[in-house]
A = this chain, B = another copy of it.
Amino acid sequence: MKLAPHASRTRLLDAALQVVRTKGYTATTVDDICHGADVTKGSFFHHFKGKEDLALAAIEHWNAMAANLFASAPYRQLADPRDRVFGYVDFRTDILRGALFEFTCLLGTMVQETYATHPAIRDACNRGIFGHAATVAEDIAQAKVLYAPDADWRPESVASFTQAAIQGAFILAKAQDGPEIAAQCVGHLRRYLEMLLNYPAAERRTP
């Protein structure tokens, strides 16, 4: 089957997300990606100069998908910013489903092994992780104004910590070969945020 150029590019990017999250960036070959996308190597090199070029495009593709996923999630409609913060955390828990490669993070996986050897990939992962953190920081900042105006912590720093906790939860899930430990860890993140944002004790969840 001959695909339209745009379709084959998207299939290559989707395949990259799956393969890289399964075995890491270095272990991923152009052949793996072509096989996963069911497109020819000629098509690959029509769209991308090589594996690193594909990886940078895959990061943009991932960021766009993630932005859409979170922007369209039901919790975004909640009026109270604190409810949106917990809605975010619970949504992160809800999507800890399926195979490990399906719910773990492309950026965390890639930056782990490439930070010293592929600065362009590291920078793209950095922009993706902290761009996402900035959207979380907005809700945390608004919630702080309402519920913890005098607290001495910075919303941006707390938002960075949410991403550290989630990235680390993925590592523990990989070590244990299943999502249960990650859900426990995100539960602790929720409890920390409940304490920072003075969430009513009666409504708290316990990990």
Contact = CB atoms under 8 A, between A and B. Distances in A.
Contacts of A153: 188, 191, 206-207
A27 interface: yes
Interface string A112-152: 11111100001001100110000000000000000000001
A201 to B, nearest CB: 11
B113 A113 contact: yes
Interface of A: 22-27, 100-101, 107-109, 111-117, 122, 125-126, 129-130, 152-153, 157-158, 160-161, 163-169, 171-172, 174-177, 181-182, 184-185, 187-189, 191-192, 195, 206-207
A163 B168 contact: yes
A189 B158 CA distance: 10
Given A112-B113, A166-B168, A161 B175 contact: no
